[in-house]
Structure 1
Amino acid sequence: MEIATPDDWDLVEAVEGVELGQVVGGEAVSLQYFHIEPGATVPEHSHPHEQTGYVVEGTLTFVVDGEELTVEPGDGYDIPSDEPHAARNDGDETVTGVEVFAPPRRDVPWAK
């Protein structure tokens, strides 16, 4: 069993105003924490991992196939593998949440 506390997360600024950190990772999935400042944008990207998430605080707007989808505190979401997506924080409050990736995300480009 592996236990990770917030001190272990190694938050990295992936893009301006967006901090991401690997929390834990196993054989089949990995867990990531995110922190997105007001006005910050995660550019469109895709990856071979299915991505499910949960917003703890703030409101996050995803853009998928030109459609804007709003995720609020307490909402969960799922992004299929290889689906291009972007996200942005249009609000005045920092967005925080957690995401699970399957298969696990290893060697993420923003952690270099």
Structure 2
Amino acid sequence: MDIVSSEEWETAEAAEGVELGQLVVGESVSLQYFHIEPGADVPEHSHPHEQTGYVVQGTLTFVVDGEELSVGPGDAYDIPSDEPHAARNDGEEVVTGVEVFSPPREEVPWGE
């Protein structure tokens, strides 16, 4: 069993107002958190990882195939591998949550 303390988390600003943190990386999955300021957005991107998430606070609007999908506190979501998606915080409070990636995102190219 591996335990990773909060002092060891690898964090980065992926876009203005968007902080991501790699919490732990396992053999089959990785876990990260996100913190998205009001008015901030994550540009459209895709990756080979299936991405599942859970929103703890705030409301996040995803854009997938031109469709806007809102997820709020207590909502969970799944984004299939290689599906282009974007996200933004249109609200007045910070959006926070956690996401699991499979296969694991060991070296994340945040901000590229």
Q: What is the root-mean-square deviation in Å for CA atoms of aligned residues?
A: 1.2
Q: Which residue of 2 aligns with 1:107?
A: 107
Matched, 1:2 2:5: no
Residue aligning to 1:44: 44
Instruction: Give 1:77's aligned residue.
Output: 77
- Unmatched runs of 5 consecutive residues or more in structure 1: none
Partners in 1 of 2:2 and 2:58 — Cα distance?
A: 29
Structure 1 CA distance, aligned partners of 2:111 and 2:38? 22
Aligned length in residues: 112
The CA deviation string for residues 30-79 of structure 1, in whole angstroms up to 9 with x for no partner, is 00110000000000000000000000000000000000000000000000
TM-score, length-normalised on structure 2?
A: 0.96
Structure 2 gaps, min length 5: none
Rate the CA distance shift 1:27–1:111 in 2: closer, same or farther, 3 A.
Answer: farther
Aligned-pair identity (%): 78
